[in-house]
Amino acid sequence: SQTIHQWPATLVQPVGSPLSLECTVEGTSNPNLYWYRQAAGRGLQLLFYSVGIGQISSEVPQNLSASRPQDRQFILSSKKLLLSDSGFYLCAQTGSGETQYFGPGTRLLVL
């Protein structure tokens, strides 16, 4: 089964502070991993995806970055948060097929 852990569940951060969101997955080895952002009441925006350790593809220019230090660990970071970084951040993985399974999400509020 595909199990995804995300933490923290909620986070309130001041503008200009750093960010680190973590995602760990269980299931098949060498999964594709994804970071999405969802603004309130909106759709899903793909931020980053990774097909392997150290391999990161960025979909949109922004002040966020991603890293994959281990096969089943995906980290989303920022050096200085902006107000516009507020949102619901979702990690997803694919297993042996192309179906994406989503984690529970992290709600980030930047004040």
Partner 1 sequence: GENVEQHPSTLSVQEGDSAVIKCTYSDSASNYFPWYKQELGKGPQLIIDIRSNVGEKKDQRIAVTLNKTAKHFSLHITETQPEDSAVYFCAASSGTYKYIFGTGTRLKVLA
Q: What are the two backbone dihedrals, phi and then psi, of residue 92, each rounded to the nearest 5 degrees?
A: -140, 155
Least distance to partner 1 from the beta carbon of 1, Å? 12
Per the structure block, which two tokens stand in for 35? Answer: 């970071």
**Cβ within 8 Å of residue 105, ≥6 positions away:** 6, 9, 38, 88, 89, 90, 91
List 49, 68, 86, 108, residue binding partner 1 (CB under 8 A): 49
Q: Side chain identity at 89, as an amino acid letter?
A: Y
Closest CA to 23 of 101, 59, 76, 79: 76
Instruction: Assess 11 for contact with partner 1 (CB under 8 A).
Output: no
Which residues, numbered 50-79, are part of the site for partner 1 (CB under 8 A)? 51
The smaller minimum CB distance to partner 1, of residues 75 and 90, is found at 90
CB closer to partner 1, 1 vs 14 = 1
Q: Which amino acid is at 104?
A: P
The residue whose two tokens read 């995906």 is: 74
Under 8 Å between Cβ of 97 and 27: no
Shortest approach of partner 1 to residue 65 CB, angstroms?
19
Q: Contact with partner 1 (CB under 8 A): which of 64, 94, 108, 110? A: 94
Q: In angstroms, give the least distance from the CB of 16 to partner 1.
A: 27
* Binding positions for partner 1, rule: CB under 8 A: 4, 32, 42-44, 46, 49, 51, 90, 94, 98-105, 107
